[in-house]
Amino acid sequence: MSGLEVKLLSPETWLDFEALFGKHKGLRGGCWCTFFRCTSAEFERMTREEHKAFQAQLVSQGRGHGLLVYDSGTPVAWCQFGPPTEFPHYDHGRVYPTLELAADATPQWRIACLMADKHRRREGLATFALKAALEKICEYGGGVVEAFPFDGPTNVQPHHTGSVEMFRREGFETIARIGKHTVLMRRIVQPDPLEFRAPNTRF
């Protein structure tokens, strides 16, 4: 898609993130994309405003990982991704910790959330954001990438995690069902030697 720009979430782009999510009332349940950044109990203890404040704190600390997609300077889509330790929600689930995974299947990255402006849906913006995130992961050295897309009936409100088909088109393979409407998928992203950053580069 031509004319689109990508920027990482940072203190400099926080106001753009705030504008995009504020337009959607913080997204599902006033989440502000914090649901996967903590345990379910921690999330439930916070109010909508506290979710936003928590995300703002992560950003100020350099831990608000994700990227924004812009069209003519306006933020229109978002993808949250980062190291697995930044998304502990999955590790505290009932199924994920019981999976017997090979040593070489240890993830280096997780993609947690995908969303597009409600007035710009069906334009491929979420897919564009996913592709941009995979390109960034490639730049950062690649590795095993996990995703947790929604797989359920259309009358169930999705969790803004993308669809199985979306990830399958990008080379992800289904590993296991870890929830009623959640599937674990994985893909290995090979690093680009021309873009690879040193291991001590802070993401």
pLDDT tens digits for 157-195? Answer: 556 889 999 999 999 999 999 988 899 999 999 886 655
| C-alpha separations of 85 from 30, 54, 70, 71, 110 in Å | 23, 16, 28, 31, 9
Q: Which of 60, 11, 63 is nearest to 37 (CA)?
A: 63
| C-alpha separations of 76 from 19, 59, 70, 118, 183 in Å | 10, 19, 6, 9, 26
Which amino acid is it at 129?
A
Tens of pLDDT along 9-60? 999 999 999 999 998 888 877 899 999 998 888 999 999 999 999 999 999 9
Q: Give 48's Cβ-side CA count (13 Å radius).
A: 9
Q: What's residue 155's pLDDT?
A: 60
Tens of pLDDT along 95-120? 888 988 777 788 999 999 999 998 88
Q: Where are the chain's structural domains?
A: 4-189
What architecture (CATH level 2) is domain 4-189?
3-Layer(aba) Sandwich (3.40)
Distance (Å, rounded) from C-alpha 160 to C-alpha 33? Answer: 9
Instruction: Judge contact between 192 and 138, C-beta under 8 A.
Output: yes
To which residue do tokens 């109990």 refer?
Answer: 41
pTM of the model: 0.89
